[in-house]
Structure 1
Amino acid sequence: MNSRQDDLKRDLDAALQTRKELGKEYEAEIVDSFLTRLDARIDAQVDQRVADRLAQHGVGREGRGGRSWSGPGKLPVISLIMAIPLTGIAAGADLAGIVVCWAGIVGVNVAAALGSRREQQAPRSGRSDWL
C-alpha cells in the first residue's frame, strides 16, 4: 500500500473507533466528517492528475510558449484599452462621469495588484483553509 492508502485506512480506523466510543448517536456526524475528508482527498488527486496531464501537453497556468494569459501583467493593459471607450461613454454625462469611470479602473487595478501580492506571499500548503 502507498502512503495515501495508509492515510485513508488510518482515517477510516479512527472514524470506526470514534463511532465505537461515542455510540450510534453521533454516527451521522462521524460519517459526514470522514466523507468530507475523503472528498477533499479525491478532489486533490483529481486536481493533481489534471495538472499533470495539462503539463504533459504544455498547457497550464501559463499558455503555450510560457505566456500567461491570466497574470497580473495583462490586467493593466486590458483596463487601459477598455478605458478609451468607457471614457467616451462617461464623457457624455459630465466630468463626474469621467472621474467615476477612472476611479473604477484604478480600483480594479489596485485590487488585482493587492490580490496577486497576497497570493504570492501566502504559504502554499496541501490543505485548504476551508477544511
Structure 2
Amino acid sequence: MTHEQDLGHGDIEAALATRRELGARYDAELVDGFAERIERTVERRVSEQVALQQRRTSDDSGGRVRQFALGVISLGVGVPVTIVPMVATDNGLPAVMVAWLGIVGVNAAHAAAVNGTRRRDH
C-alpha cells in the first residue's frame, strides 16, 4: 500500500458520502471495508518500524564486530612494527612511536565513524 492510499480525511468523507447514497442497509459492508483498510495501514506501518529497528540493530552489531576485528589486526601488525625497528636499528624508538600513533589514529578514527553513524541513526 502506498502513502497515497493511506487513510485520511478524504477516505472518511468518501465513506460517509457512499453511506448517504446507498442508505443504512450497506453500513456493515462500508464499515468492514473501512476497517480492513485501517488494519492494512496499521500492519504496514508496524512492519516498517520493525524493519527499521532490525536494520539499526544489525548496523550496531556489525560496527562492533568490525571495530573488534580492526583492534585484533592492529595488535597483529603492531608486534612486528615494534620488533623490527628495535632490533634492526640502534634507536628505533621514534619509528615505533610514529607507527603506534598511526595505529591508534586509525582505530580512533574508525571508532568515531562507527559511533557517529550510530548516533545519527537513533
State the TM-score bracket (shorter-chain normalisation).
0.3 to 0.5
Going by fraction, where is helix more abundant, 1 or 2? 2
For normalisation by structure 2, the TM-score amounts to 0.42
Structure index of larger Rg: 2
Return the structure number with greater relative CO, CA threshold 8 A, min gap 6: 2
TM-score, length-scaled by structure 1: 0.40
